[in-house]
A and B are shown apart, each in its own frame.
Chain A
Amino acid sequence: MTTSDDATKNGSEESADQAEAIEAVENVEGTAAETTPETEEKKETAKCTGGGLIIFTFIAGLVISLIVGWIIFPKLLYSKKDQPINFNHKLHLEEVDNSCESCHFFREDGTYAGVPTLAQCIDCHEEVEGDSPDEERFVNEYVAKNKEVPWLIYSRQPDCVFFSHAAHVKGAGMDCQTCHGEIGESESLKPYEENRVTGYSRDIWGKNISGITTHTWESMKMDDCAKCHAEAKVEASSVQTKKDACFVCHK
Chain B
Amino acid sequence: MKEEGKHGKANKFGMVIDLDKCTGCGSCMVACMSENNVSFKEDESDKRLSITWMKVYRITNGKKFPDAEECFLPRPCMHCEGEHSGHSPCVSVCPATATDYSTQTGIVSQIYTRCFGCRYCMAACPYHARHFNWWDPVWPEGMEKFLSPNVSPRMRGVVEKCSFCFHRYQLAKDKAYMDGRREIREEEYQTACTQACPAGAITFGDLNNKNHKVYKLVKPDNKHHGKPRNPHAFRLLERLKTNPKVYYLSSRDWVRAAGDNYTVEEKRKGITSGSGSGH
A166-B177 contact given A247-B105, A250-B109, CB 8 Å threshold? yes
Q: Does A108 contact B (CB under 8 A)?
A: yes
Q: Does A239 contact B (CB under 8 A)?
A: yes
A237-B105 contact given A160-B113, A167-B174, A251-B150, CB 8 Å threshold? yes
Residues of A within 8 A of B111 (CB): 160, 246, 250
A108-B167 contact given A245-B102, A247-B105, A247-B107, CB 8 Å threshold? no
Q: Does B230 contact A (CB under 8 A)?
A: no
| Closest beta carbon of chain A to B274's beta carbon, Å | 29
Instruction: Decide: A240 and B177 in contact? CB cutoff 8 A.
Output: no
Residues of A within 8 A of B7 (CB): 235
| Closest beta carbon of chain A to B155's beta carbon, Å | 10
| Bound Cα distance A237, B107 (Å) | 11
Instruction: Decide: A247 and B109 in contact? CB cutoff 8 A.
Output: yes
A247-B85 contact given A158-B113, A238-B102, A239-B91, CB 8 Å threshold? no
Instruction: Decide: A110 and B6 in contact? CB cutoff 8 A.
Output: no
Instruction: Decide: B103 and A239 in contact? CB cutoff 8 A.
Output: yes
Q: Which of chain B's residues 108-164 have a Cβ closer than 8 Å to chain A? A: 109, 111-114, 150-153, 163
Q: Does A217 contact B (CB under 8 A)?
A: no
| Bound Cα distance A171, B180 (Å) | 7
| Bound Cα distance A166, B153 (Å) | 24
Instruction: Decide: B109 and A245 in contact? CB cutoff 8 A.
Output: yes
Residues of A within 8 A of B102 (CB): 237-239, 245-248
Per-residue A-contact encoding for B162-174, CB less than 8 Å = 1, 0 else: 0100110011011
Instruction: Decide: B177 and A247 in contact? CB cutoff 8 A.
Output: no
Instruction: Decide: B113 and A110 in contact? CB cutoff 8 A.
Output: no
A109-B101 contact given A158-B113, A240-B91, CB 8 Å threshold? no
| Bound Cα distance A111, B149 (Å) | 12
A240-B100 contact given A160-B152, A246-B111, CB 8 Å threshold? yes
Instruction: Decide: B152 and A159 in contact? CB cutoff 8 A.
Output: yes
Main secondary structure of the interface of A (DSSP, over half): loop
Instruction: Decide: B101 and A239 in contact? CB cutoff 8 A.
Output: yes
Instruction: Decide: A110 and B100 in contact? CB cutoff 8 A.
Output: no
Instruction: Decide: B177 and A171 in contact? CB cutoff 8 A.
Output: yes
Partner of A233, one of B6, B94, B113, B182: B6
Main secondary structure of the interface of B (DSSP, over half): loop
Residues of B within 8 A of A234 (CB): 5-6
Instruction: Decide: B178 and A110 in contact? CB cutoff 8 A.
Output: yes
Q: Does B104 contact A (CB under 8 A)?
A: yes
Report the nearest B residue to A162, measured CB to CB.
Answer: B170
| Closest beta carbon of chain A to B67's beta carbon, Å | 46
Residues of A within 8 A of B101 (CB): 238-240, 245
Instruction: Decide: B151 and A251 in contact? CB cutoff 8 A.
Output: yes
| Closest beta carbon of chain B to A149's beta carbon, Å | 19
| Bound Cα distance A139, B103 (Å) | 52
| Bound Cα distance A238, B152 (Å) | 20
Which of B103, B114, B178, B182: most chain A Cβ within 10 A?
Answer: B178
A110-B176 contact given A234-B6, A239-B103, CB 8 Å threshold? yes
| Bound Cα distance A158, B180 (Å) | 28
Instruction: Decide: A245 and B173 in contact? CB cutoff 8 A.
Output: no
Partner of A110, one of B103, B112, B152, B175: B175
| Bound Cα distance A43, B238 (Å) | 84
| Bound Cα distance A159, B112 (Å) | 11
| Bound Cα distance A166, B100 (Å) | 25
Partner of B178, one of A162, A170, A238, A247: A170
Q: Does B277 contact A (CB under 8 A)?
A: no
Report the nearest B residue to A112, measured CB to CB.
Answer: B174
A239-B100 contact given A110-B174, A250-B111, A251-B170, CB 8 Å threshold? yes
Residues of A within 8 A of B152 (CB): 159-160, 250-251
Ordered by A's residue number, 17 sampled pairs between the chains whose C-beta atoms are within 8 Å are A109-B178, A110-B175, A110-B178, A111-B171, A167-B173, A167-B177, A170-B180, A171-B177, A235-B7, A236-B3, A238-B100, A238-B103, A239-B100, A246-B97, A246-B100, A250-B111, A250-B152
The 8 A-B pairs with the shortest beta carbon distances in the complex, nearest first, are: A239-B86, A110-B174, A245-B102, A247-B109, A237-B104, A166-B177, A110-B178, A110-B175
A residues adjacent to B (C-beta < 8 A): 106, 108-111, 158-160, 162, 164, 166-167, 170-171, 233-241, 245-248, 250-251
